[in-house]
Chains A and B, each alone.
Chain A
């Protein structure tokens, strides 16, 4: 089955700086890679996703890049704000069930 590794487990950045979270996956058949954000005590919610036929996708301050050859994808958040503080999960899958990374706790320092 799919195995998704995510780094770092904790990331602390100054407000206004950029944050980058990286994930690798093992199954070359995986073709869909979403990112979910989970605020403290809340449910995970989709923030952006990318398919394997696309190398990069952007939505305002958030972007995701995908390198299928190297089997890795990354989340980039620019101009970080306090409301970006949360746990971020990457995920991958080619069949029905998504496999999630273990999450990155993003801390925005004032």
Chain B
């Protein structure tokens, strides 16, 4: 397996634009997580899915953020409209049994977002 695949790797956009980040989890993994990493706040859990169903989105900062998982092999994280404070590295991770139940999280390479 190629691991968790994220795109784009880098995105530079202007404030107010829509941003869509994409993730393909490892085949067979039932859990998918979206994390945001910044120097100030570290790794923050935004939302996670189990069997394509969103389970906990309490980490999503505000209504400008939305995430979907239309099938087991694809998820998107959308920011609309984007703001400079959204600049961060966004990681997608997948797991067989849920991160806190003892399943290793396999992270993608991350999408580095810069909002000017």
Contact = CB atoms under 8 A, between A and B. Distances in A.
The 6 closest A-B pairs by CB, nearest first: A93-B100, A102-B42, A96-B98, A98-B99, A43-B107, A100-B43
B83 interface: no
- Point out which of B59, B100, B102, B107 has the most chain A C-beta atoms below 10 A from its C-beta: B100
Interface residues of A, number: 27
Interface of A: 1, 30-32, 34, 36, 42-46, 49, 51, 89, 91-103
B43, B101, B104: residue with the most chain A Cβ atoms closer than 10 Å:
B43
A48 B104 CA distance: 10
22 contacts: A34-B104, A34-B105, A42-B109, A43-B108, A43-B109, A44-B43, A44-B105, A46-B104, A49-B104, A89-B42, A92-B100, A93-B99, A95-B100, A96-B31, A96-B99, A98-B45, A98-B99, A98-B100, A98-B105, A100-B42, A100-B45, A101-B42
B51 to A, nearest CB: 11
Interface in B11-58: 31, 33, 35, 41-45, 48, 50, 55-56, 58
Contacts of A102: 41-42
Interface of B: 31, 33, 35, 41-45, 48, 50, 55-56, 58-59, 91, 98-102, 104-105, 107-110
Contacts of A95: 56, 98, 100
A77 B54 CA distance: 37
